Amino acid sequence: MPDAPVQQTFTVTDADTAIAVGSGSLPVLGTPRLIAWCEAVTCAALADLPDGWTSVGTRVEIDHVAPNAVGDEVVVSADIVERTDRIVEFAVTARRGEQLVGRGRVVRAVVDADRFMARLAARDDA
């Protein structure tokens, strides 16, 4: 488990805009894409899980507080604030330079991948 926050840098493209993701009519970073980036960074923070284990998102709370244009670079950071055997809570932030773009929390559950998918298959067979 990383001691320091995990960070990734994303560049806003046309595919990341509110127009492209269906969350608005302007060519700015869409909130659904910001949320996806936050989740991606939390997944990266859990990349050292044992073989056969993964994590699934269970809760996302994001405040998207500043717009970003196509071409802007956004740095997303995730820092673990609480962890149990099965639940990991992250504080996430997104910044363009010193400007805060978004902040919030992401909660992920650590699961046995095969068992998780078997439960899903059993649900569909019922």
* Residue 1, in any domain of the structure: no
The domain spanning residue 34 has which CATH number? 3.10.129.10
pLDDT per position as a tens digit, 41-100: 999 999 999 999 999 999 999 999 999 999 999 999 999 999 999 999 999 999 999 999
What pLDDT score was predicted for residue 4? 80
Q: Which domain holds residue 53?
A: 6-125
Question: Which pLDDT band, with edges at 50, 70 and 90, does 126 fall under?
Answer: low
pLDDT per position as a tens digit, 3-23: 689 999 999 999 999 999 999
* Residue 13, in any domain of the structure: yes
What pLDDT score was predicted for residue 124? 76
Angle at 53 between CA 8 and CA 58, to 5 degrees: 65
* Residue 66, in any domain of the structure: yes
What pLDDT score was predicted for residue 30? 98
Q: How many domains, the chain?
A: 1
User: In this model, does residue 1 exceed pLDDT 60?
Assistant: no
User: In this model, does residue 111 exceed pLDDT 80?
Assistant: yes
CA nearest neighbour of 33 among 45, 18, 48: 18
User: How distant, in Å, are the alpha carbons of 1, 27, 75, 83 from that of 70?
Assistant: 33, 7, 14, 36
**pTM, to two decimals:** 0.93
